[in-house]
Amino acid sequence: MQANLEWENKRANLRLFENAFKEVDHDAQLVILPEMFSTGFTMDPLKHAESMNGKSIKWMKTFAEKLDTTLCGSLIIEENGCYFNRLLVVNQKGEIKTYDKKHLFRYADEHQHYSAGSSHLILSIHQVKLAFFICYDLRFPVWTRNTHLKYDVAIYIANWPEARSSHWNALLKARAIENQAYTVGVNRIGDDKNGISHSGDSAVYNPKGEKISITNPHEYKVENISLDIEKLYEYRSKFPTHLDADQFKLL
């Protein structure tokens, strides 16, 4: 879902996505919302953070059940006195998996307001293995490396500025090629209160680096897209670069 977020206005943003849900295919298996979808990319967690029992998470549970699907997106979460840019994956049963953003965006002082995560999130939905990342993580290939083919699809949710949209597009394509996986990038559009413009450029790339989505920059769009996982496995079998990948460990 590529949409313009209202700055620090949870009520308006949740209403926005409630309307957008009407455009989701009835058999959708995953619905992806942008980074900090309820507030925009604010550096005021003290004012906007919620607990894991907060209103926005309850909202996600409600609509995952109504749509009979899985929702994902990130919120500002307070836990044990720390604030996290936390991606939540919520299924129709109300079950929640989480990923805390590993690479905090120093250029916007995110590291001064939020705590970094240290663990990956990879899970299966309908037997498709999905890895979840947030925005700035896209710039760090070691963190997203798929050496042992642990995932089939890498999902990046973002508030990525238009000024660096060429980087966004290039890196989504590169991550797909080097990891032999689909990459899905979901970004916001519009200007935030700091005057930063976002062009969206939400996109899906196949493992050959080919763009297979049709969302345009600056366009409000709910794009329904299917990924052919069998073609992915066939491509890996014919062109098995993962067998020659360098082995390394994160310290």
pLDDT: which is higher, 246 or 101: 101
Tokens of 243: 């067998």
Do 152 and 232 touch, CB atoms closer than 8 A? yes
Do 142 and 178 touch, CB atoms closer than 8 A? no
| Tens-digit pLDDT profile for residues 46-58 | 999 999 999 999 9
Cα-based angle 197, 214, 195 (whole degrees, multiple of 5)? 5
Neighbours of 165 (CB within 10 A): 17
Q: Which among 10, 72, 102, 135 is annotated as catalytic?
A: 135
Instruction: Indicate the average pLDDT of the chain.
Output: 97
- Residue 181 pLDDT greater than 70, yes or no: yes
| Tens-digit pLDDT profile for residues 188-245 | 999 999 999 999 999 999 999 999 999 999 999 999 999 999 999 999 999 999 999 8
The closest of 76, 77, 61 to 159, measured between CA atoms, is: 76
Q: Which among 6, 35, 50, 110 is annotated as catalytic?
A: 35
Domains and CATH numbers, the chain: 10-244 (3.60.110.10)
Q: Which among 10, 101, 102, 173 is annotated as catalytic?
A: 101
Tell me what the mean pLDDT of segment 126-132 comes to. Answer: 98
Active-site annotation holds for 135: yes
Tell me what the mean pLDDT of segment 163-192 comes to. Answer: 98
Active-site annotation holds for 208: no
The Cα-based distances of 27 to 61, 86, 126 in angstroms read 17, 26, 12
Report the pLDDT value the prediction gives residue 251, as an integer from 0 to 100.
65
Can you say whether residue 151 is alpha, beta or left, with left for phi > 0 and alpha for psi between -120 and 50 degrees?
beta
- Residue 39 pLDDT greater than 70, yes or no: yes
**pTM for this one?**
0.97
Q: What gap in Å lies between CA 175 and CA 236, rounded to an integer?
A: 15
Report the pLDDT value the prediction gives residue 248, as an integer from 0 to 100.
75
Q: Return the DSSP state at 209.
A: S
